[in-house]
Structure 1
Amino acid sequence: MGNIKSHIKYKQPSIKKIPEFDQIESDQERNEKLMDFYLSTSIDAIDRSHIYHFLRACIFQSSFSSPVEDKLIQGCKVLDIGCGAATWLLELSTKYKNSYFYGVDIKPIYPQEIKPYNLEFIKADVTDRLSFNDDEFDFTHVEFMSFVFTSNQWDFVLSELIRVTKPGGYIEVAGRRNGYVGEGPIFRKLTDAIWLMYSKQGIDVKLMYNLDSKFELQPNIGKVHRIEKDFITGPNGGKIGLVWQDMSIAYFKSKLAIQVISKELGISEEEFNNMVKNLTEEFKQTRAECVHVRFWAQKQLSE
């Protein structure tokens, strides 16, 4: 679901490993597993990303917060970075037929053939610089990429989004707070393990919640607007809470999550599965608050 610049390569080593040393992982192999864990292309992961899109749209009561509705209706040019399965783009390109949309991602899990006529996908890494010209888009967007970019990469990504946006156009960044308030011990242990895995790779998992501070330092940017929405995980959060509960449990039950998180916790896969089995009951007793955030700003004329 995103772009990543780095030494991480999505291909198998050309040199075969000696069998007796298979259990010894190199840094590159650990990084590959971590990125596969986050950028999973399994059918279940793609389904969860579709559901997650509509959950976010529900809590914000919109698929974007920038004031671009009139432009989209009239016809404009839109870019989405880290488009993943392209749920956001598919929805908007179907609704706003006068506008033209581009999606960029390092992993081509977006639709290859069946898609609206006004939607185009490009396989690329945003941290290698976008191929678009300056001042090309009316609206640029990036969402749910907090586990992909380092702090320095965020500086570059924001500068690229601003570069390709027209003066008077809008840039929007969205994500969620990677951490909960009021969670139970099982959920806390599982999520803390995830935050720790990414922290070990130089990812600041807390940065997204305060990314407006970086956004404001960029040149040619007007006031950065911040919008927050929260809900409670589990039955105490109503229908949305139950959807998030089901998504979380399905995520922890995925084969890759079982392998990666159990190893990080230093427990067997059986012990990990038993923890996950007890999550549903724990959610009934707790009120784990999940917070999502959007930042948007208008590009100003160069001085």
Structure 2
Amino acid sequence: MGNKNSKLKHKRLSSSVNKIQEFDKILSEQERQEKLLDYYLMTDASYIDPLHSYKFLRDYLFQSNFSSPIEDKLIEGCKVLDIGCGPGTWLLELSSKYEDSYFFGVDIKSVFPQQIKPNNLEFIKADVTDGLSFNDNEFDFTHAEFMNPMFTPDQWDFVLSELIRVTKPGGYIEVADLNSARVNQGPIFRKIADAIWATFSKRGIDVKLINNFDSKFELHPNIGKVHRIEKDVITGPNGGKIGLLYQDIAISYFNSEITSKVVSEEIGISEEEYKDMLKKLVEEFKRTNSEHSHVRFWTQKQLLEEWP
């Protein structure tokens, strides 16, 4: 902590705070920044359960926890790192299933379990943009999911270089996220989504970066072919049971206290008007086929003898 990256990040956060209406019942600048960070990281207490549900939705879409061909290694016993692990849902499931492997989760906010967890799982509170505190070539599998709204393009370059550094030659690196390309959205959903993306853009986040993330990945040395796998889901009843689940997750996020404050301010309406928009959004989902794409990228770190 305390390096140039963290100072720059603090300036961006402070700048964002100045552009957003002061939150009620928050007494200090530090508390405002902590609350705002909860919004950006989606660690507001009311959103933890939807995050768990979102993980299971992605597993259903892909019919797997991951796409990298690492299953045999996990069964034999290997070492896995997940950055931006949040409440640790992905790691808790894998560490329980693959008892001979060892898992590490890293997140800037300690919303992960502190005590009740498998013995082969360890959580670490740290900021990955300050660098990972692991040795070179330490992990067989490194993983990051739903982190595109957290990093600027320059930060992504650094984070990817760190993931590659700590991955063993022959090991796998996987990054997954929600593709920001929006198809068949109704006007209410589009207005809310545009406001959310605007708050990210003020922090220098390129929300469309994930659309061509494989190209960014390929700029880094010592990796093989970057594979891309996409799965689509329609939000709402027209997407079946999985669409209704995705609708519930989206509404839970939109309806959380901190999101309501930030997004209503961005749109320029009262929170009461915003809540009314959400009621109309549920009805809009019945008439539209708003399609979202979930995408995974994975690649293999080159073996030593393959390096130039």
TM over 0.5: yes
| Matched AA of 2:87 | A
1:8/1:31 contact within 8 Å kept: no
Provide the C-alpha distance between the structure 2 equivalents of 1:276 and 1:196, rounded to a whole number of angstroms.
Answer: 18
**1:111 corresponding residue in structure 2:** 113
1:222–1:22 distance in 2 versus 1, CA, 3 Å? closer
Could you tell me how far 1:36 is from its partner in structure 2?
2.2
| Matched AA of 1:130 | L
**2:265 corresponding residue in structure 1:** 263
Could you tell me how far 1:112 is from its partner in structure 2?
0.1
| Matched AA of 1:91 | E
Q: Aligned pair 1:289/2:291, yes or no?
A: yes
1:136/1:165 contact within 8 Å kept: yes
| Matched AA of 2:166 | V
Equivalent position SS for 2:289: coil
Could you tell me how far 1:275 is from its partner in structure 2?
0.5
Provide the C-alpha distance between the structure 2 equivalents of 1:202 and 1:33, rounded to a whole number of angstroms.
Answer: 19
TM-score, normalised to structure 2, is 0.89
1:8/1:32 contact within 8 Å kept: no
**2:170 corresponding residue in structure 1:** 168
**1:55 corresponding residue in structure 2:** 57
Q: What value does the CA root-mean-square deviation take over the aligned residues?
A: 2.2
**1:64 corresponding residue in structure 2:** 66
Q: Aligned pair 1:178/2:180, yes or no?
A: yes
Could you tell me how far 1:170 is from its partner in structure 2?
0.3
Provide the C-alpha distance between the structure 2 equivalents of 1:242 and 1:96, rounded to a whole number of angstroms.
Answer: 31
Provide the C-alpha distance between the structure 2 equivalents of 1:5 and 1:87, rounded to a whole number of angstroms.
Answer: 27
Correspondence for 1:226 among 225, 228, 236: 228
**1:197 corresponding residue in structure 2:** 199
Provide the C-alpha distance between the structure 1 equivalents of 2:195 and 2:234, rounded to a whole number of angstroms.
Answer: 21
Q: Counting helix residues as a fraction of each chain, which structure ranks higher?
A: 2
| Matched AA of 1:263 | E
Could you tell me how far 1:41 is from its partner in structure 2?
3.0
1:105–1:35 distance in 2 versus 1, CA, 3 Å? same
TM-score, normalised to structure 1, is 0.90
Could you tell me how far 1:214 is from its partner in structure 2?
1.0
Equivalent position SS for 1:180: strand
2:67/2:298 contact within 8 Å kept: yes
**1:42 corresponding residue in structure 2:** 44
Between 1:36-45 and 1:148-157, the stretch displaced more is 36-45
**1:129 corresponding residue in structure 2:** 131
2:223/2:300 contact within 8 Å kept: yes
* Count of aligned pairs between the two proteins: 288
Could you tell me how far 1:38 is from its partner in structure 2?
2.2
1:135/1:163 contact within 8 Å kept: yes
Equivalent position SS for 1:36: helix
2:23/2:261 contact within 8 Å kept: no
Provide the C-alpha distance between the structure 2 equivalents of 1:49 and 1:210, rounded to a whole number of angstroms.
Answer: 25
| Matched AA of 1:102 | F
**2:152 corresponding residue in structure 1:** 150
**1:239 corresponding residue in structure 2:** 241
Could you tell me how far 1:179 is from its partner in structure 2?
3.8
| Matched AA of 2:208 | K
Equivalent position SS for 1:49: helix
% identical equivalent positions? 67
**2:92 corresponding residue in structure 1:** 90
2:38/2:44 contact within 8 Å kept: no
Could you tell me how far 1:30 is from its partner in structure 2?
7.9
Where structure 2 has 5 or more consecutive residues not aligned to the other structure, the ranges are: 15-21
Provide the C-alpha distance between the structure 2 equivalents of 1:98 and 1:287, rounded to a whole number of angstroms.
Answer: 43
Residues 178-210 of structure 1: CA distance to partner in whole angstroms, max 9, x if unpaired?
242001000000001001111111000000121
Provide the C-alpha distance between the structure 2 equivalents of 1:107 and 1:121, rounded to a whole number of angstroms.
Answer: 11
Where structure 1 has 5 or more consecutive residues not aligned to the other structure, the ranges are: 14-20
